[in-house]
Structure 1
Amino acid sequence: MRIALVNNNKPVSIKLAEEFLSKIKATGIAIDDENPDLVVTIGGDGTLLSAFHKYQHLLSTVRFVGVHTGHLGFYTDWRDYEIEDLIESLKHDKGESVSYPLLDVRVSYNNGEESDRFIALNEAVLKKVDGTMVCEIFVKEELFETFRGDGICVSTPTGSTGISKSLGGAVIHPRTEAIQLTEMASVNNRVYRTLSSPMIIAKDEWIVVKPIEEHGLIFTVDHLTFRDKKIDQLIYRIAKERVHFARYRHMHFWNRVENAFIGIANNHKQDRK
């Protein structure tokens, strides 16, 4: 098995990465940053996002496993003090994995620039900071609404716990083959109307967004940001690729949600008893 390591620049992560490399080399497992079978990340969910985009051209063959050195993440299964246990699992790896859906985003431009294709693990956001963003939103080929507001977010099921949730979106189990659109501060009055509620789009459907004005738009894909692109339209759908995580031990998705958003409150309740 060939392993690549990606870590953030925090001192605790750098130190742990050095420890990991020293111990993994003693096992005889190969380190291969170019064509790994498995990518280990040390840091947090942001570090794993960076690794995902670095190796997205290998999604059909590579698996990811994350070690978190801060707060518990949705993609990072291992704690910093569990390096020995992780290495032991790597030594006895049998190809265990779980896969999640991804977001396919096609972007075309009206200035002759070649179209782009992006894959998102979490979400893609289109917004306008200075002024109101106006765009037409289609479901498949049918116009659904003309949106006016700060922006829109389209997320994957695993990304539903991020920006989408902060906008009032639903938390979606990652076995669900769907994408979710949530609005950012939509304008709703007697003249302008939008649905205002999150929309969950089925696997065989897609979303088309056509900005009315191209100036001042900010387009993000996970942690990647693109400014002042002359966007003609965006098409969002479930990607044909999937992301694969090495799962040597399983934590139920709803346990992750509870730990991330409710666990601390529950601990406080127990302390007060």
Structure 2
Amino acid sequence: MKIEIFANDSEKSLSIKQQLLKKLADRHFTFDSKNPEIVITVGGDGTLLSAFHQYQDQLDHIRFVGVHTGHLGFYTDWREDEIDDLVVSLQSDNRQSVSYPLLDVNVKTRKNGDFYQFLALNESSLRRVGPTMTSDVYIGGDLFERFRGDGLCVATPTGSTGYSKSLGGAVVHPDMPVLQLTEIGSINNRVFRTISSPLIISPNDWVTIRPVDSICDEDFLLTVDSRYYHTTDIAQVTYKVSKKKVNFAKYRHNGFWNRVKDSFIGDENEI
């Protein structure tokens, strides 16, 4: 089994990485940063997101394992004091995994009609830099509404616990390979009308956000997970459930609703 250990720059994470390297080397594991089979991330959810994007072209043969060295992460199953148990699990690996759906983000430019593709684990959003954004929103190719406000966010089921939730979106179980569209600061009055509610989009449909011509010379901010892109050259952005999935090694993978409870509610005995 070929392993890569991907850690953030904190002193604690780097220390855990060195301990893992020694323990795994003592047990004759192979280390390969270019073509790993297991990527162990040490840090938090941000570290795992960085590792995901670094290896997004190899998702078909990579499984991720997360070790958290700070607050409990949504994607990280192991604590820093459990690395001996993790090493034992790696030794007895049976190649089982749990998979989560991903988001395809396709951007069409206005000037040349070029297409750029991105992949998101959590969410993507499109916003204006400065004034409000006016865009036509299409679902499955049909015009749904003309939106005016700060922007729009499209999230995966696992991403529904992040930015989308802060916008009033629902928490969606990842067994449902759907998209969730939520509004960011929509304007609703006698002139402008939007649905003003999060929308759950079927995996057979897609969402297209098309800025209206009158504002196309303005700056936009496109986010893909933690990555940001400033541009004036956007004709449209299309979102669809990806055919790719992210895989996590299933050693003692914590159930989704347990993760939600641990992240947002905690132990009721602590209240």
TM-score, structure 1 normalization: 0.96
Deviations 1:8-42 (A, max 9, x none): 01111011111111111111110000000110000
CA distance in 2, matches of 1:216, 1:114: 18
Alpha-carbon distance between aligned partners in 2 of 1:56 and 1:50, rounded to the nearest angstrom: 10
Matches for 1:99-138 after TM superposition, within 5 Å: 99-112=99-112, 114-138=114-138
Q: Which secondary structure state, in structure 2, belongs to the residue aligned with residue 49 of structure 1?
A: helix
Offset of residue 228 of structure 1: 1.9
Residue 71 of structure 1 is matched in structure 2 by: 71
Distance of 1:62 and 1:209 partners within structure 2: 32
Quote how far apart the aligned CAs of 1:229 are.
Answer: 4.1
**Which residue of the partner structure matches residue 88 of structure 1?**
88
Distance 2:127 2:232 in 1: 12
SS where residue 81 of structure 2 aligns?
Answer: helix
Residue 115 of structure 1: how far off its partner (Å): 1.2
Matches of 1:116 and 1:207, distance apart in 2:
16
Aligned counterpart for 2:239 among listed residues 236, 241, 264: 236
Deviations 1:94-143 (A, max 9, x none): 10100011001110101226311111000001112411011100001110
The equivalent residue for 1:226 is 229
CA distance in 2, matches of 1:134, 1:267: 47
In structure 2, distance between residues paired with 1:88 and 1:208 = 46
> Any idea what the Cα deviations from partners look like across 1:39-66, whole Å, max 9, x if unmatched?
0000000000000000010111111010
TM-superposed deviation, 1:268: 4.0
SS in 1 for 2:60: coil
Give the partner amino acid of 1:56: Q
Share of identical aligned residues, percent? Answer: 50
Structure 1 residue 190 and structure 2 residue 199: aligned? Answer: no
In the other structure, the counterpart of 1:5 is: 5
Pick aligned residue for 1:254 from 253, 257, 262: 257
For residues 30 and 179 of structure 1, what CA distance do their matches in structure 2 show? 38
| 2:17 alignment counterpart | 17
1:141 is matched by which residue type in structure 2? Answer: G
* Aligned AA (2:242): A
Amino acid in structure 2 at the alignment position of 1:168: G
TM-score by length of 2: 0.97
Structure 1: how far apart are the matches of 2:61 and 2:132?
A: 43
Counterpart amino acid of residue 176 in structure 1: M
Corresponding letter in the other structure for 1:211: P
Count residues in correspondence: 268
Distance 1:110 1:127 in 2: 17
| Map 1:24-35 → 2, pairs under 5 A | 24-35=24-35
Work out the CA distance in 2 between the residues paired with 1:42 and 1:250. 16
**SS class of match (1:51):** helix
Gaps of 5+ in 1: none
- Measured in 2, the distance between the counterparts of 1:184 and 1:106 equals 20
Matches of 1:14 and 1:267, distance apart in 2 = 33
User: Secondary structure, in 3 states, of the residue corresponding to 1:194?
Assistant: coil
AA aligned to 1:228 is T
